[in-house]
Amino acid sequence: MYRLTEAQQEIVQRIGKLADEAIAPEAGDVDKEARFPRSSLDALGKAGFLGLTVPEDLGGMGQSLRTAAAAIDEVAQR
């Protein structure tokens, strides 16, 4: 669907694994309590994914918006 390279697919798979471990278990409570998912954002940040599209020379991962869309889709499916 997103026509990602093998390296990009690996990044999306890593985000999916993180979503399964750190985001999905709290998603129901976050929705039910209408609270901000701080722990989910902290987990994404700790793994470096909040800098997914930030250029590498600025400390990010330097990925495309296509990769970001695939990553967001992966998290949303959890």
**Domain around 65:** 6-76
∠49-61-28 over CA atoms, to 5°?
Answer: 15
Q: Is residue 48 part of a domain?
A: yes
Q: Is residue 60 part of a domain?
A: yes
In the chain, how many domains are there? 1
pLDDT value for 50:
97
Under a CB-based contact definition with an 8 Å cutoff, are residues 26 and 20 in contact?
no
Q: Is residue 1 part of a domain?
A: no
CATH classification at residue 29:
1.10.540.10
Q: What is the pLDDT along the chain (78 residues), one digit of tens a residue?
A: 799 999 999 999 999 999 999 999 999 999 999 999 999 999 999 999 999 999 999 999 999 999 999 999 999 998
Secondary structure (DSSP) of 11-68: HHHHHHHHIIIIIHHHHHHHHHHT---HHHHHHHHHTTGGGTTS-GGGTS----HHHH
Q: Is residue 52 part of a domain?
A: yes
Tell the residue number behind the tokens 């994404």, with chain if given.
44
